[in-house]
Amino acid sequence: LDRDWTAPPGTALLVSAGFTPRDMPLRHAWRLAAAVVLAMMDAAEAAAGLRDETLWVKWPNDLVADGPDGRLLKLAGVLGETRSDGDRIATAVIGIGVNVDWPAATFPAALAPFMTSLREISGGRPVDRDVLLDGWLARLEPRLEALTAGAFDGGGWSRRQRTTGRRVEVDLGDRVVSGLAVGVDPESGALLLDPESSDGAVAADGAGALLAIDSGEVVRCRVVDLPRPTPAGVRPRNG
């Protein structure tokens, strides 16, 4: 997708990790990225002295915090590449960039309304990148061991989704679909979307109408409104 993560020296944690999973199905590659994100959220909250579940996921794998006006402010992003051996993962490289000790006064003007850092979320207190890295590695190891054993924290992944309950537009390259995000599928990681009619009304006619959007198809997912209740008749599937 030709994307990168840039930050002034000393302000961010930019790291890539290589994995050679044992017998992990290719269809579960998204779970590897999810484990990286969940471990980083927990480590970031600890390193910055934040309460639990201050940070969230904007599907498919951006780390965000709630802004004062209800907007989602981006804290971190993840990109991954995998190589397969048949229907199994041979190798995977996952990169993550986190805005750590970056004061808002030096945010790029074009991005400032949409981004944040651990320093800003914690009230301006400095945050040590080494502490964050050590904490992430310590929390990632047990999650990887669980994945190897065939277990995944689907409940935690679903619970931390800030996209759920919001109207979104998903760019699939050849088309854009919009609707109400009602959850994520615990098996495939797909976004479950209740699509809109041509006049912008959400269908709300039950689970049979839901679209399942795979993260591998997505160019961009944009949240376009503030949270709202899930329509009657649509039951979120959050695992």
pLDDT (tens digit per residue) in 161-201: 999 999 999 998 889 999 999 999 988 899 999 997 444 55
Its domain, for residue 99, covers 12-159
How far lies 185's CA from each of 28, 54, 144, 161, 192, in Å? 12, 23, 20, 12, 7
- Decide if 130 is inside a domain: yes
Residues 188, 208 within the same domain:
yes
SS3 147: helix
Tokens read off for 133: 């890295």
CATH value at residue 65:
3.30.930.10
63, 74 contact by CB (below 8 A): yes
Split at pLDDT 50, 70, 90, the class of 227 is low
**Residue 202, pLDDT above cutoff 80:** no
If asked whether residues 40 and 149 sit together in one domain, one would say yes
Mean pLDDT for the stretch of residues 109-117 = 95
State whether 115 and 35 are in the same domain. Answer: yes
- Looking at the structure of the chain, the number of domains it has is 2
Domain ends where: 123, 138, 159? 159
pLDDT of residue 216: 75
Q: How confident is residue 69, by pLDDT bands cut at 50, 70 and 90?
A: confident
Quick one: three-class SS letters along 21-54? CCCCEHHHHHHHHHHHHHHHHHHHHHHCCCCCCC
Residue 133 shares a structural domain with residue 188: no
| pLDDT at position 231 over 60 | no
Is a pLDDT exceeding 70 seen at residue 225?
yes
User: What is the pLDDT, as a whole number, of residue 19?
Assistant: 96
Highest average pLDDT, of 2-11, 95-104, 229-238, comes from 95-104
Residues 119-139, mean pLDDT to the nearest whole number: 98
> Which two structure tokens, joined as six digits, stand for 82?
């995998």
At 182, which CATH number? 2.30.30
Looking at residue 198, what is its pLDDT?
44
Of 136, 159, 182, the domain-final residue: 159
Helix (H) or strand (E) holding 56: strand 55-58
pLDDT digits (tens, 9 = 90+) for 23-58: 899 999 999 999 999 999 999 999 999 999 999 999
Predicted local confidence at residue 156, as pLDDT: 92
Per-residue pLDDT at 237 = 42
Q: State the DSSP code for 114.
A: G
Percent of the chain with pLDDT over 90: 73
Mean pLDDT of the chain: 88
pLDDT of residue 203: 52
Question: Residue 60: is its pLDDT beyond 80?
Answer: yes
- pLDDT score of 22 more than 60: yes
